[in-house]
Amino acid sequence: MVDVSSKAETAREAVARGRVRMAASTLKLLRGGKTPKGNVLATAHLAAVMAAKRADEWIPLAHPLRVEAVDVSFRYAERPAAVHVECRVRTTGRTGVEMEALTAVCAAALTMVDMLKAVDRTLVIDEVALWEKRGGRSGAWVRATKGPTAGGRARSRNRARR
């Protein structure tokens, strides 16, 4: 585990995104609220918040953090049929919340798969990535949106004093 005891506490924020691809008929069921296991997105939302708060239990050597805010959003996409997940995590601390945001996205996506697998065996979780981070010595970082993989490159915006 990295020693962060000498670092100053600063406001930290991270945004992660991912996607769950599915059959068009599954997306239609989801949008209509007619899935057999109940409200998929509400359950996935709770899973994301719970996972962000306990990321240190999932990831060896991750620091336990006081998570102060978790914002979760979902967006439907028709082509290909999918649900996009975005999790924004904030805290004030000595280390960033990137792992918390990524863990939240993964937990939301896994929950959707669990709740939809009875109606669709083709579900795929993909494009899970960190998209933004702010705070700390390295400042702000935002994933570039241009390039062959729509985000394959990153640019750094370092606003921290040296």
Per-residue pLDDT tens over the stretch 74-133? 999 999 999 999 999 999 999 999 999 999 999 999 999 999 999 999 999 999 999 999
Query: Active site residue: 3, 114, 120, 126, which one?
Result: 114
The pLDDT score that the predictor gives to residue 146 is: 67
pTM for the predicted model, two decimal places: 0.88
Q: Sketch out the chain's domains with CATH numbers.
A: 10-133 (3.30.70.640)
What residues contact 101, with CB distance under 8 A and at least 6 apart? 14, 15, 16, 52, 87, 88, 89, 130
Is residue 120 among the annotated active site residues?
Answer: no
The DSSP-derived string for 82-151 is EEEEEEEEEEEESS--HHHHHHHHHHHHHHHHHHHTTT-TT-EEEEEEEEEEE-STT-EEEE-S-STTSS
Tokens of 152: 């394959």
Mean model confidence pLDDT for the chain: 90
For helices 98-116 and 40-53, angle between their N-to-C axes, nearest 10 degrees = 150
